[in-house]
Chains A and B, each alone.
Chain A
Amino acid sequence: MTPHYELPRDEADYSFGFLDEYAKKEVRRAILKAVAIPGYQTPYASREMPMGRGFGTGGLQLTLALVGPDDTLKVIDQGSDDSVNAVNLREFVQLTCPGVTLTERTEEATLIQSRHRIPEKPLRADQLLVLQVPYPDPLVVVEPSETKRKIMHGEADYARLLVKLYEDIVKFDEITISHRYPTRINGHYVIDPSPIPRWDVPRLHQSPALILLGAGREKKIYAVPPYTDAMPLAFEDQPFRVEDFRDAAGNRRACTRCGATDSFLDEFIDQSGGKVYQCSDSAYCAERLVERAEAAA
Chain B
Amino acid sequence: MAYVAIKGGRAAIAGAAQAAEFLRTGSAETEAPLKLDTIEQQLRLLVSRVVSEGGLYHPRLAALAIKQFQGDTLEAGFALRAYRSTKPRLLETPPQDSASMRCIRRISAAFKDIPGGQMLGPTYDYALRLMRLDLADEAPESFKAVARRFLADAPEAELPATFPKVLEALRAEGLLPPVPEIHAAPFDITREPLVFPVSRSAALATLARAETGSLLGIAYSSMRGYGDIHPTVAELRVGYLPVLLPHPVTGEPMEAGEVLMTECEVVAMYGDDSDAPPTFTLGYGACFGHNETKAISMAILDRALQKGMRDGPAHPAEDPEFVLQHVDGVDSMGFCAHYKMPHYVTFQSDMDRLRTTRRKATENAS
Interface set of A (CB-CB < 8 Å, partner B): 2-4, 7-8, 12, 14-15, 18-23, 26, 43-50, 52-55, 57, 77-80, 82-85, 87-88, 91, 116-117, 134, 145-147, 172-174, 176-180, 195-199, 217, 219-220, 243-244, 256, 264-272, 276, 280, 282
CB pair A267–B78 under 8 Å, yes or no, is no
Given the interface pairs A53-B335, A270-B2, A271-B2, the reply to whether A48 lies near B17 with Cβ below 8 Å is: no
Contact A43 B195 (CB under 8 A): yes
**Is B337 an interface residue when CB atoms closer than 8 A count as contact?**
yes
Which of A47, A85, A145 touches B85 (beta carbons < 8 Å)?
A: A47
How extensive is the interface on chain B, given as a class?
A: 35 or more
Q: Contact check, B330 vs A53: say whether CB atoms are below 8 A apart.
A: yes
Q: Does B135 contact A (CB under 8 A)?
A: no
Cross-chain contact B344 with A2 (CB below 8 angstroms): no
Q: B residues bordering A, Cβ < 8 Å? A: 1-4, 6-10, 12-14, 17, 20-21, 61, 78-79, 81-89, 189-197, 321, 325, 330-331, 333-339, 341-346, 348-353, 356-357, 360-361, 364
Given contacts A84-B13, A177-B353, A217-B334, contact A79 B345 (CB under 8 A): yes
Contact assessment for B4 and A276 in the assembled complex, using a CB-CB cutoff below 8 Å: yes
Of the candidates B193, B345, B357, the one having the most CB atoms from chain A within 10 angstroms of its own CB is: B345
> Which interface residue of A85, A87, A88 has the most chain B CB atoms within 10 A?
A87
B6 pairs with A178, CB closer than 8 A: no
The closest CB in chain B to the CB of A196 belongs to: B345
**Residues of B contacting A243 with CB < 8 Å?**
348-349, 352
Cα A23 to Cα B190 with chains together (Å): 10
B345 to A84, Cβ gap below 8 A? no
Q: Which residues of A contact B349 (CB under 8 A)?
A: 178-179, 197-199, 243
> A48–B330 contact, CB under 8 A?
yes
Query: CA separation between A79 and B194, bound complex, in Å?
Result: 33
Collect the chain A residues with CB atoms within 8 Å of residue B348's CB. 197, 243, 264-267, 280
20 A-B pairs with CB atoms under 8 Å apart are A2-B17, A3-B14, A8-B83, A22-B89, A26-B191, A52-B338, A78-B343, A83-B342, A84-B8, A87-B10, A174-B356, A176-B353, A179-B350, A180-B346, A197-B349, A244-B356, A266-B344, A266-B348, A276-B4, A280-B345
The CA of A214 and the CA of B21, in the complex, are separated in Å by 32
The answer for the CA separation of A198 and B352 in the assembled complex, in Å, is 10
Closest Cβ neighbor of B363 among chain A residues: A173
CB distance from A147 to the nearest CB of B (A): 5
CA distance A78 to B349 in the complex (A): 12
Min C-beta distance of B263 to chain A, whole Å: 25
Give the CA-CA distance A14 to B83 in the complex, in Å: 10
Answer whether A48 and B345 are a contact pair too, CB < 8 Å, given A54-B337, A83-B8, A173-B357. no
CB distance from B318 to the nearest CB of A (A): 13
In the complex, are the beta carbons of B335 and A54 less than 8 A apart?
yes
> Is B193's CB under 8 angstroms from A84's CB?
no
Q: How far is the CB of A230 from chain B (nearest CB, A)?
A: 18
Q: Contacts A266-B348, A270-B2; is A53 near B331 (CB within 8 Å)?
A: yes
Question: Interface on chain A toward B: helix, strand, loop, or mixed SS?
Answer: loop
A47-B190, A174-B356, A178-B350 known; 15 other A-B pairs, CB under 8 Å?
A7-B86, A18-B86, A20-B87, A20-B88, A21-B88, A55-B338, A78-B342, A79-B345, A82-B7, A83-B7, A173-B360, A267-B348, A270-B1, A271-B4, A280-B345
Say whether B88 contacts A84, CB under 8 Å: no
The residue from A4, A82, A198, A244 contacting B17, defined by CB atoms under 8 A apart:
A4
Evaluate contact between B193 and A219: CB separation under 8 angstroms. Answer: yes
Q: How far is the CA of A217 from the CA of B87 in the complex (A)?
A: 19
| Neighbouring B residues of A44 by C-beta, 8 Å | 193
Which residue of the partner chain B has the closest CB to A171?
A: B357
Interfacial chain A residues near B82, Cβ < 8 Å: 48-50
- List, in ascending order, chain B residues with CB within 8 A of A219's CB: 193-194
Shortest CB distance B167–A (Å) = 32
User: Is A268 in contact with B6, judged by CB distance below 8 angstroms?
Assistant: yes
Instruction: Determine the distance from Cα of A256 to Cα of B9 in the docked complex, in whole angstroms.
Output: 22
The 8 closest A-B pairs by CB, nearest first: A53-B334, A54-B338, A52-B334, A48-B81, A2-B17, A43-B193, A178-B349, A50-B82
Contacting residues, chain A, for B344 (C-beta < 8 A): 78, 266, 280
Q: Which residues of chain B are near A85, meaning CB under 8 Å?
A: 341-342
Residues of chain A with a CB closer than 8 A to B21's CB: 2
CB-nearest residue of chain A to B14: A3
Give B87's nearest chain A residue, CB to CB: A20
Cα A146 to Cα B326 with chains together (Å): 13
Nearest Cβ distance between residue B88 and chain A, in whole angstroms? 4
Residue of A nearest to B10 (CB): A87
- Given A20-B88, A217-B335, A267-B351, do A116 and B6 touch, yes or no (CB 8 Å)? no
User: In the complex, what residues of B have CB within 8 A of residue A268's CB?
Assistant: 4, 6
Q: What residue in chain A is nearest B192 (Cβ atoms)?
A: A45
Contact residues in A for B321 (Cβ distance below 8 Å):
145-147
Bound Cα distance from A53 to B331, whole angstroms: 6
Name the one of A78, A84, A147 contacting B197, with C-beta atoms under 8 angstroms. Answer: A147
Which B residues touch A3, using CB under 8 A? 10, 13-14, 17
Across the interface, A55 reaches (CB within 8 A) one of B17, B334, B345, B364, namely B334
Q: Which single member of B4, B341, B353 contacts A269 (CB below 8 Å)? A: B4
- Report the minimum CB–CB distance from B200 to chain A (whole Å): 16
